[in-house]
Structure 1
Amino acid sequence: MRVLVVDDDPASRHVLAAHLAGLATCVMCASGPEAVETVRQALADGGSFDVVFLDIIMPHMDGHETLAHIREVEEAAGVVPENRMRAVMVTSMDDETNTMTALFDSQVSAYLVKPANRSELLEKLVALDLLSLE
């Protein structure tokens, strides 16, 4: 499994990557624009990511905006909706408005509240059919 982790906080990026160690190859980005370019380059190279973990609140380009741009890049590359990477929004707030916006407006599959714990993260990946724990 290839995972893109996008968060302006280095500690948060590393926590998610540590939880995924041995289960996935992680690419980490510190900003929305960096993530969009990383996806663009991966698609140009004939690859992609299975899932992107996006912090909702980031400076300059938040998680919602970043995902919208990623979806535009996927569409321009001819990736059909059912083959697009899954998106999991990550937030330090237990904010129902942001969560509902993420889940319904941005084609997000799930959300995690920081700090993410490993068991909850793995449960999300299993629910998204990205991981089997058998």
Structure 2
Amino acid sequence: MHFLIVDDDEASRMVLMAHLKHYGICDICGNGALAVEAVAKSLNSGRPYDVIFMDIVMPGPDGHETLEKIHALEKQAGIAPENRAKAIMVTSMDDEDNTMTALFEDGVSAYLIKPVAKTELVTKLAALGIVEL
């Protein structure tokens, strides 16, 4: 499994990485621009990401804008929407409008509220068929 964690908060990145290290390889980015570059490199190398954890609120391109750019790269690479990386939005806000936008307009598979508990993370990944409980 190949994961990308995108968050401007280092502590949040480290928590997710610690939770995910037993399930696969984790790459991390501190902003949306770096995430777009990482996805482009992964697509060019033939090792696309399976799951992208995306913070919603970040300086520069936010999670919505970044995900839109990532989907454009996947489309350009000939990846059908049903085969693109699963996107999981991660937010410290209990903001239903932002979350619903991410789920419906951005094609997000799930969302998690920070701080992310390992049990909640694994339950979400299992529900998406990514890991087994």
Is 1:10 the equivalent of 2:37? no
Letter in 1 for 2:44: A
| TM-score, reference length from structure 2 | 0.98
Letter in 1 for 2:2: R
Cα distance in structure 1, aligned partners of 2:103 and 2:80:
19
SS of equivalent to 1:123: helix
Matches within 5 A, 1:29-68: 29-68=29-68
Cα distance in structure 2, aligned partners of 1:29 and 1:51:
14
State the 1:22 CA deviation: 1.2
Cα distance in structure 2, aligned partners of 1:21 and 1:27:
10
Cα distance in structure 2, aligned partners of 1:84 and 1:44:
14
Letter in 2 for 1:58: M
- Find the counterpart in structure 1 of residue 77 from structure 2: 77
Matches within 5 A, 1:69-108: 69-108=69-108
| TM-score, reference length from structure 1 | 0.98
Matches within 5 A, 1:99-118: 99-118=99-118
State the 1:23 CA deviation: 1.2
Please, which runs of 5 or more residues in structure 2 have no aligned partner? Answer: none
State the 1:80 CA deviation: 1.1
Identity %: 56
Letter in 1 for 2:127: A
State the 1:69 CA deviation: 0.3
Aligned pairs, number: 133
State the 1:130 CA deviation: 0.4
SS of equivalent to 1:12: helix
What value does the CA root-mean-square deviation take over the aligned residues? 0.6
SS of equivalent to 1:47: coil
Segments of 4+ moved more than 4 angstroms: none
Cα distance in structure 2, aligned partners of 1:90 and 1:25:
19
Cα distance in structure 2, aligned partners of 1:5 and 1:30:
8
